Structure formats: structure tokens, C-alpha cells
Amino acid sequence: MEILDEDWLYRRLHPACIKQNGTVSSIAFMTSKFPDGQASVDLAKLTNPIESVNRDGKGHRKLGQLRARGPRALGLDVAHDPLEDNHAHSLILGADSKTICRKLARLVDVLPNIESKG
């Protein structure tokens, strides 16, 4: 499925990824202190916020959203990568520096009142 620039992407966020001022930290796009070159997101038009935030079964997650055009403007790819149990699964590909992770994080808005159960 083609992901359009206007499409929304959802990213599950651990509480540590959200700064006190409510903005998203660069660690939202890192794994073990390294850039996540294949950041997992959900294509919003194939799911809904509650389903997306609860998908991994871990509690106390928030949900962020960003437009697909944002990562692309940073030179990254956005690709639909459906899984057997998650047709909405997609990837932001190519983040290779903390600077890119920081720029990605600035594109994310945390959705109010959406939090995983658990």
C-alpha cells in the first residue's frame, strides 16, 4: 500500500520519551542509545489510536502522531510493512544519527487522553 505524504503515522511512546514540557525526546527514535534505522509505526488510516497504543501489550504507553511527509523531508523513507497480526505496521527507514532522531521527535505530537491499558 502506498503511504501518502498527508497520511498520519502513530508511534507508541514510553513515558521516558516524553519530556516534562510535553514534547517528545529523541530517544523515541532510538534503541539502546543508537538511532533506530527501522522505527516501527502504524499507518493511521488502517487502525485507530486505541488499537495502536495497546498493540504491544505494554502498559502506560502514550501515542504520538506525525505526518509521513515529515520523515521524508528529512531524507528518510516511509514504507508500509504489514505484519500477520498488524496490517497497519509501517517503518520509518534510514535514521542514522541522533540529530535525525531529534528532528523526527520534533515532528511528533502526543495525542491527549490516549494511553495504553495495563
Residues 6+ apart with CB under 8 A from 40: 11, 89, 90, 91
Question: How would you write the pLDDT of the chain (118 residues) with one tens digit per residue?
Answer: 999 999 999 999 999 999 999 999 999 999 988 999 999 999 999 999 999 999 988 888 999 999 999 999 999 999 999 999 999 999 999 999 999 999 999 999 999 999 997 6
**Alpha-carbon gap, residue 108 to 118, rounded angstroms:** 23
Q: What are phi and psi of 114, to 5 degrees?
A: -115, 115
Grid cell listed for 93: 527507514
Cell of 12: 507508541
Q: Given this model, what pLDDT does residue 118 score?
A: 66
